[in-house]
Amino acid sequence: MNADHLKTLLNDVHAGRVSVPDALERIKHLPFEDIGYARLDNHRGLRCGFPEVIFCPGKTIAQIVGIMERMVANGGPILATRASAEIYQAVVQKWPAAGYNESARAITLNAPPGPQYDGYILIVTGGTSDIPVAEEARVTAEIMGNRVKTVYDAGVAGIHRLLKSHDEIFDANVIVVVAGMEGALASVVGGLASRPVIAVPTSVGYGASFGGLAPLLTMLNSCAAGVSVVNIDNGFGAGYIAALINRPPMTNQKPS
């Protein structure tokens, strides 16, 4: 349940459209609901502005569907990451409106009809092989209500490809840079942009890239002051942080 759903429920109680017992029944599982194999953080949408996200690896299809059933009942957008096509087939049979980004391996349901915030997030990749991680960032940012632009395959080996997109770089509110190999692209973009740059090292590269460790260390050692770094292949984390930066501050106050 997110803030909009709770406001609607409270207004319905005030107007007499929903009884107090019915309202209590709907919100009794806040702040979490124990379904045996998972404790669903139903309160997260109210605290953080976006519901809990389902990480699919390690879960059975039955568990994933069961978690989604409870989340659908609570309302709000749903994002499931690192989902296989087999998982999606089980989900779409129950919810035909569910979407699937094969490259990102992400399932979405009840996504907003369009961007909810001004400005846009720019996602840049070093190479085509980095696109799956970038797409995970894009899907995450979009379901959180943000407009996203992409510049793919613009690595430092052909720097003119990146410089051609200078308008998109200068106008973006926040930039996500996804790169493997040596990971130098994040420093280059950070040296051009006046906005925050979120660097995502990928496991793309030859042996000495050590499965993404080499670009991770390069990005952590960036001489561009505006660069922050998430974990290897963590497109979801980068997209989530970019969405938080791009949206207006939440108006909820600290508890007294």
pLDDT at position 30 is: 65
pLDDT digits (tens, 9 = 90+) for 178-193: 999 999 999 999 999 9
- 114 in any annotated domain: no
pLDDT digits (tens, 9 = 90+) for 216-235: 999 999 999 999 999 999 99
Strand pairing category for 99-101 and 106-109: antiparallel
pLDDT surpassing 70 at residue 13: yes
27 shares its domain with 130: no
pLDDT at position 96 is: 95
154 shares its domain with 102: no
Q: Which residue, 49, 84, 109, sits at the end of a domain?
A: 109
Query: Which of 101, 87, 98, 91 shows the shortest CA–CA distance to 139?
Result: 101
Rounded-to-integer distance, Cα 124 and Cα 186, Å: 9
- For residues 115 and 146, the answer to whether their CB atoms sit within 8 Å is yes
Vertex 165: Cα angle to 159 and 214 (nearest 5) = 45
Strand pairing category for 227-229 and 174-179: unpaired
- 255 in any annotated domain: no
160 shares its domain with 225: yes
pLDDT above 70 as % of the chain: 93
Rounded-to-integer distance, Cα 126 and Cα 157, Å: 9
Rounded to an integer, the average pLDDT of 71-83 is 90
159 shares its domain with 195: yes
The secondary structure of 147-212, three-state, reads EEEEECCCCHHHHHHHHCCHHHHHHCCEEEEEECCCCCHHHHHHHHCCCCEEEEECCCCCHHHHHH
Going by pLDDT thresholds of 50, 70 and 90, the confidence category of residue 28 is low
What range does the domain containing 136 cover? 120-246
- 252 in any annotated domain: no
105 shares its domain with 9: yes
pLDDT at position 253 is: 46
Q: Domain with 217 in it: what CATH number?
A: 3.40.50.1970
Tally the domains of the chain: 2
200 shares its domain with 93: no
Least confident of 48-52, 83-87, 179-183: 48-52
Question: Using omega within 30 degrees of 0 as the cis cutoff, is the peptide bond preceding 113 cis?
Answer: no
- 115 in any annotated domain: no
Task: Quickly list H helices, 16-158.
Answer: 20-27, 44-48, 61-74, 85-94, 131-143
pLDDT digits (tens, 9 = 90+) for 153-175: 999 999 999 999 999 999 999 99
Q: Is 37 exposed, middle or buried (0-12, 13-18, 19+ CB in 10 A)?
A: exposed
- Measured N-to-C along each axis, helices 85-94 and 61-74 cross at an angle, to the nearest 10 degrees, of 40
pLDDT at position 130 is: 96
39 shares its domain with 127: no
- 242 in any annotated domain: yes
Eight-state DSSP code of residue 19: -
CA 154 to chain centre: 22
159 shares its domain with 240: yes
Least confident of 34-38, 50-54, 194-198: 34-38
Q: Which residue, 65, 85, 109, sits at the end of a domain?
A: 109
Rounded-to-integer distance, Cα 112 and Cα 24, Å: 27
Rounded to an integer, the average pLDDT of 87-112 is 95
94 shares its domain with 151: no
Model confidence, pTM: 0.84
Rounded-to-integer distance, Cα 136 and Cα 81, Å: 8
Q: Which residue, 109, 142, 167, sits at the end of a domain?
A: 109
Rounded to an integer, the average pLDDT of 71-91 is 92
